[in-house]
Amino acid sequence: EQRSEMENQAHVLFHKFLQGKKCTETLNAFRELCTELQLDHTDFQHLYQKLKGSLNYWKAKALWTKLDKRASHSDYGQGQACSGTKCLVLGAGPCGLRTAIELAFLGAKVILIEKRDTFSRNNVLHLWPFTIHDLKTLGAKKFYGKFCSGCLDHISIRQLQLMLLKVALILGIEIHVNVEFKGLIEPPKNQEKKTGWKAELLPANHPVTEFEFDVLVSAGGSNFIPNGFKKKEMRGKLAIGITANFVNRHSSAEAKVEEISGVASLYNQKFFQQLHNETGIDLENIVYYKDDTHYFVMTAKKQSLLKYGVIRQDQRETNALLNTHNMDKKSLLRYAHQAADFCTNHQLPDLEFALNHRGDPDVAMFDFTCMYRSENAALVRERHGHRLLVALVGDCLVEPFWPLGTGIARGFLAALDAAWLVRGWGMGTAPLELLAERESIYQLLSQTKPENTHKKVTLYSIDPFTRYPNLNLNFFKANQMERISLSSEDIHRNGKPLNTLGDVEQLLSWCKEQIEGYGNVKVVDLTASWRNGLALCALLHKFRPNLIDFESLKETNVAENNQLAFDIAEREFGIPPIMTGTEMATATSPDKLSMVMYLTQLKDIFKDSSP
């Protein structure tokens, strides 16, 4: 009897968790559930199985069936593909959460940090068929019964976050809110304890600052691009977006009003002419979705905003034009209200603004004139023998143009691509090969549409071939990644750039200087000059002459020379080899990134010691 009472209590708590409507409420409900079941919510390897074992009544079972099916996909290698990988995910937006879930399926330890503790965006995202299917396989309907019922193909941003948060928690992802990522902390050098990469966080003493990881997924949204990545600006013609949300009372009158899908509206010139004539409002497009709110997104023409008094004064610079000081909020509310009313043929009764998280009418104006995308999707850092993969997903990879209706689709595609990258990382693929593959896939992202991606959405997985029909994984070659990785190397910490191109030049001249006296060795670069291993041996000999009998080395013994140097560096200074001597002998030339990483470590050790 006592057992069934406990079970009942657990069922109540599980139900409360599934029904959670807010971020913190959901996190607390999950903790409560774990406490009741005496489960450690940080035990990522066993939590899901234990939850499943403890909650085996029909409602929970239906969810386990979905998640089990998903987890059994061969890509995940039975949850072992990344079993040694530790990932820090930055940002609990839809893309950070979505990526984290894939990493958990791959068996990685995942900690996710989010600087806020609320999911407050009413705005609505369009879902392509694959995203609907994807979310359904994660049990979307179990968390949000209304999810895409009938022909609905959208969801509010906050509902999407809530749903993904719940899946993430169940899969054992540790989630910490009110924690802000401030930067990376490099592994210290010459350490006894081999401490890896860590993060600098706010609050500074947060326990996650102790977490050592080898993968950082940055999903901090469009305003957050981690150091080391270059932004590419895509400047188009002036495009001013307005979003507005109105209260949805779910009455039958409201239910009858038809939505306006993005694409259809783009071509309906007659309609826009009529709108302009009757109201003075001049739009290029408008989208209306009926969701938790009545949501509108439109692109408005500057002249009509000026005439309407929304923008006070014309300015040449877009920043100045759309600055809040140059905007009349009341006129903006009228403009959005009138546009929404006209576009729904005055059929939505009592159009009352929904409120945003500040308690103000939820209307906003955004500048889409200048959109950004990151030049690269990922980079690899190496410091004192510790490698770190940094991958971007979501808006910090490519900013979406909302009115075009791509919604969250490209964000999710990139999340799956990033998971594929981490899979390769976890399985030990060489970093430059991985980067080359990731960049090749990234080439396709901005052109993806439902029409040019695979139709069989039920077969989609993290494997890019299941999604992109014309994929050429060799679009970039590993050796081209040196440039990308090197230019991405200038991660700043405390304002000090590391391994910038300047540093690389300095490294080369330092090496030349040290090796100058060795007659049969000539160093002119950081690649081919090092192939026969003599330069590496010379460098070691210069500082530790007792470790190498340099005179006995032969130029033609490439594998032996390199192996000798690699062994000494590892044994004496703890620097892990970049490859074996034989691999070096069979390569036409060592890869530059690896050589820079390797030689930097030697330089760090020798630079203050006199030969």
Q: What does the binding site for ligand FAD look like in residue numbers (CB under 6 A)?
A: 90-96, 113-116, 121, 123, 125, 157, 180-181, 219-221, 224, 243, 297, 394-395, 400, 402, 407-408, 411
Please list, in sequence order, all residues whose beta carbon lies within 8 angstroms of the beta carbon of residue 373, skipping any fewer than 6 positions away: 231, 232, 234, 397, 398, 399, 446
Contact between 219 and 243 (Cβ < 8 Å): no
CA distances from 8 to 1, 5, 25, 544 (A): 11, 5, 20, 71
CB of 154 to ligand FAD, least distance (A): 9
| CB closer to ligand FAD out of 90 and 311 | 90
Least distance (Å) between residue 122 CB and ligand FAD: 9
Nearest-approach distance from CB 180 to ligand FAD, in angstroms:
4
Token pair 């234990």 is found at 50
- Taking Cα atoms as reference points, which of 380, 324, 360, 413 lies closest to residue 95? 413
CA Rg, the chain, in Å?
28
Quick check: 116 and 180 in contact, CB under 8 A? no
| Cβ distance to ligand FAD smaller for residue 125 or 481 | 125
What's the Cα-to-Cα distance from 292 to each of 289, 437, 546, rounded to whole Å? 9, 40, 75
Which residue's CB is nearer to ligand FAD, number 96 or number 172?
96
**Which among 297, 298, 292, 324 is positioned nearest to 311, based on CA atoms?**
324
Q: How distant is the alpha carbon of residue 335 from its chain centre?
A: 35
Nearest alpha carbon to residue 297 among 362, 211, 220: 362
Of 448, 408, 155, 126, which is closest to residue 262 (Cα–Cα)?
126
The β-bridge partners of 607 are: none
Q: Which is nearer to ligand FAD, 361 or 411 (CB)?
A: 411
Nearer to ligand FAD, 143 or 295 (CB): 295
The nearer residue to ligand FAD, 299 or 561, going by C-beta atoms, is 299
Burial of 330 (0-12, 13-18, 19+ CB in 10 A): exposed
Residue 506 CB contacts under 8 Å (≥ 6 apart), including other chains: none
Residue 369 Cβ vs ligand FAD, minimum distance, rounded to whole Å:
16
As measured in angstroms, the least distance from the Cβ of 591 to ligand FAD is: 31
Which residue intervals of 296-328 are DSSP H helices? Answer: 302-308, 318-321
Distance of closest approach, residue 312 Cβ to ligand FAD, in angstroms = 23
In whole angstroms, the minimum distance from the beta carbon of 390 to ligand FAD comes to 14
For the CB of residue 519, give the shortest distance to ligand FAD in the complex, in Å: 53
Kindly tell me which of 366 and 510 has the beta carbon lying closer to ligand FAD: 366
CB of residue 181 vs ligand FAD: minimum separation in angstroms? 4
- CB of 399 closer than 8 Å to CB of 222: yes
Q: Which is nearer to ligand FAD, 244 or 597 (CB)?
A: 244
The encoded tokens of residue 600 equal 């930097």
Rounded CA-CA distance 499/330 in Å is 51
Contact 299, 243 (CB under 8 A): no
Sign, CA dihedral 461-465-471-472, equals positive
Alpha-carbon span 16 to 85, nearest angstrom:
32
Cβ proximity to ligand FAD: between 55 and 88 the closer is 88
| Burial class for 427, CB neighbours closer than 10 Å (0-12, 13-18, 19+) | middle
- Give residue for tokens 């509108």: 296
Least spacing, CB of residue 51 vs ligand FAD, in Å: 26
CB of 96 to ligand FAD, least distance (A): 5
Residue 367, both tokens: 């500048």
Cβ proximity to ligand FAD: between 91 and 431 the closer is 91
Which pair of tokens denotes residue 318? 């877009």
Nearer to ligand FAD, 221 or 309 (CB): 221
* Distance in Å, CB of 450 to ligand FAD, minimum: 15
Nearer to ligand FAD, 91 or 228 (CB): 91
